[in-house]
Amino acid sequence: MSESAKLVLGGETIELPIIVGTENEKAIDIRALRGQTGFITYDPGYKNTGATESAITFLDGEKGILRYRGYSIEELCENASFLEVAYLILEGELPNKEQYAAFEKEITYHTLIHEDVKHVFDAFPNGAHPMGQLQIILSMMAGFYPDSLNPHRSKEDVKRTIVRLIAKMPTMVAMIQKKNNGHPLVYPKNELGYVENFLRMTFGQVTEDYEIDPVFVKAMNKLLILHADHEQNCSASTVRLVGSSNANLYASISAGVAALWGPLHGGANQKVLEMLEAIKEDGGDTDKWLAKAKDKNDPFRLMGFGHRVYKNFDPRALIIKQSADEILDKLGIEDPVLEIAKKLEEKALKDPYFADRKLFPNVDFYSGIIYRAMGFPVEMFTVLFALGRLPGWISQWKEMRETKQPIGRPRQVYTGKNARDFVAMNKR
Ligand code: CMC
């Protein structure tokens, strides 16, 4: 007989099945609990709740392991292109030569954005945050492609929507940056690779040829791969939850962007750089800022530190830190903010406050330094996170649909007033 857990409630013993994952992760299946006992489980922030089984990403927070479909991010970063990783995450296997060529061709075919989308920029006030713009443009897409409205339509329709999204996202992101700079748009050039095309649309000018720097391509490719999926995080769970009501894919991804925007999640990459700048402006006294982060009466947190699941190190942060060094070195940039980041990290790691709480630099701690060296404005950082995370969100949505998951709907423990009679207070 397979393993089970016994729960004693009010003198009665209830047996609950145990689910075991392929990496020996174990979960108590409580689906029958409420029906049998009337009890629900209580877990604010879902800190210890498995919301789904998933075959996409494996993460071991204690050992600092992150794998997409079984492949380590270290190996993927060294050997694969972002588009290959996107295919892997979506389809479950790395593409062979023909599959890759077909996928790349399809993606390149759909890179243009409908010209009417440009009008939406007129409605944004100057300096509107790029994440808000991205969210709006993504949800607008369903208006241009009404065949995406019903996620139950044919497999081909769903596939076309997925391809459109991956193809158009770099164009959208580049458009947002151009519009924010007040520069004319640079249209996609479809013979270029995914990352190369994105860099040209973002940094190129309509009036001149753009020389693609292989150092930038390598760095961008790595950053996108590192962000491609991260199992049931806040934004992926949002995408799944929104999608579980049969909302269309564009709306679900737009909701994911909203969740990612928060500074406790993807928005941290912008906040890290702003924090490092503030420390520099303040004279570079890292001890003072560490003390602020430790002070429970001060709302300040060390941005880019800590993680819900990584409790020893974030493997993405190790790769990014090394990349930051390499890129700044290759570009011949000396960024004082990198020195502040390193000093902060060194001191925090020796500090019992951070050690006791297992707080380490996360993916966002060093990524902004690279983005800035490449020339991205700080408000664009979280949009770049979204660009990388897109295949992950789509795969989570696809898996949720394909495994026919029910609408997401948590329970609660009610703590409000008991039933009472209506009294017309405004007539008293
Ligand atoms: N600076 C100072 N103290 C911290 C920090 C921090 N960055 N992070 C956590 N703590 C403390 C927190 O105050 C609490 O202390 P105590 O036990 O004394 O009350 C303890 O550590 C546990 O924190 P928590 O908020 O209960 O942990 P959580 O798992 O709910 O939150 C987190 C994880 C990432 C939201 C949090 O560590 C944080 O706010 N970090 C800063 C924001 C950040 O860098 N976010 C990016 C995450 S990685 C990118 C991604 O989202 O994928």
CA 418 from centroid of its chain's CA atoms: 41
Ligand 1 neighbourhood includes 66 CB (under 6 angstroms)? no
Instruction: For residue 192, report the distance from its CA to the centre of ligand 1, in Å.
Output: 40
Taking 90 as the threshold, does the pLDDT of residue 261 lie above it?
yes
- Please list the residues that pair with 320 across neighbouring strands: none
Taking 70 as the threshold, does the pLDDT of residue 264 lie above it?
yes
Higher pLDDT, 2 or 340: 340
CA 242 – CA 353 distance, rounded (Å)? 37
Ligand 1 neighbourhood includes 243 CB (under 6 angstroms)? no
Atom of ligand 1 at shortest range from CA of 293: 2
Residues 404 and 291 in one domain: yes
Instruction: For residue 358, report the distance from its CA to the centre of ligand 1, in Å.
Output: 10
Owner of token pair 């270290």: 74
Ligand 1 neighbourhood includes 359 CB (under 6 angstroms)? yes
The question of whether 110 is a catalytic residue gets the answer no
Mean pLDDT rounded to a whole number for the chain: 94
Residues 47 and 128 in one domain: no
Buried b (16+ CB within 10 A) or exposed e, 136-174: bbbbbbbeebeebbebeeeeebbebbbbbbbbbbbbbbb
Query: Please, which pLDDT band fits residue 151 given cuts at 50, 70 and 90?
Result: confident
Residues 114 and 145 in one domain: yes
* pLDDT per position as a tens digit, 312-329: 899 999 999 998 888 888
CA 364 – CA 274 distance, rounded (Å)? 12
Q: Is residue 79 part of a domain?
A: yes
Residues 50 and 173 in one domain: no
Instruction: For residue 307, report the distance from its CA to the centre of ligand 1, in Å.
Output: 6
Taking 80 as the threshold, does the pLDDT of residue 286 lie above it?
yes
Ligand 1 mutation target, pool 47, 238, 301, most atoms within 8 A of CB: 301
Taking 80 as the threshold, does the pLDDT of residue 202 lie above it?
yes
Ligand 1 neighbourhood includes 293 CB (under 6 angstroms)? yes
Encoding tokens for residue 402?
């394909």
Q: How large is the angle between the packed helices 336-350 and 364-374, nearest 10 degrees?
A: 170
Sign for the CA dihedral angle at 98, 141, 190, 392 comes to: negative
How much is the average pLDDT of 182-199?
95
CA 424 – CA 400 distance, rounded (Å)? 48
Domain range for residue 106?
Answer: 73-410
* pLDDT per position as a tens digit, 23-67: 999 999 999 999 999 999 999 999 999 999 999 999 999 999 999
Helix, strand or coil, per DSSP, at residue 171: helix
Residues 54 and 78 in one domain: no
Taking 60 as the threshold, does the pLDDT of residue 1 lie above it?
no
The question of whether 183 is a catalytic residue gets the answer no
Atom of ligand 1 at shortest range from CA of 307: 34
What pLDDT, on the 0 to 100 scale, is given for residue 126? 86
Count the domains in the chain: 2
CA 359 – CA 306 distance, rounded (Å)? 4
Helix, strand or coil, per DSSP, at residue 269: helix
* pLDDT per position as a tens digit, 349-382: 999 999 999 999 999 999 999 999 999 999 999 9
CA 162 – CA 252 distance, rounded (Å)? 12
Instruction: For residue 303, report the distance from its CA to the centre of ligand 1, in Å.
Output: 9
CA 164 – CA 158 distance, rounded (Å)? 10
* pLDDT per position as a tens digit, 98-118: 999 999 999 988 999 999 998
Per the residue annotation, which of 129, 229, 314, 364 is the catalytic one?
364
Per the residue annotation, which of 209, 307, 325, 329 is the catalytic one?
307
Q: Is residue 138 part of a domain?
A: yes
The structure's pTM equals: 0.95
Share of the chain above pLDDT 90, in %: 87
Ligand 1 neighbourhood includes 362 CB (under 6 angstroms)? yes
CB-count burial class (<10 Å; 0-12, 13-18, 19+) for 208: exposed
Residues 58 and 81 in one domain: no
The DSSP result for 204-232, as a single string, is --TTS--PPPHHHHHHHHHHHHHTS--SS
What pLDDT, on the 0 to 100 scale, is given for residue 206? 87
Q: Is residue 415 part of a domain?
A: no
What pLDDT, on the 0 to 100 scale, is given for residue 16? 96
Query: Please, which pLDDT band fits residue 411 given cuts at 50, 70 and 90?
Result: very high
Q: Is residue 421 part of a domain?
A: no
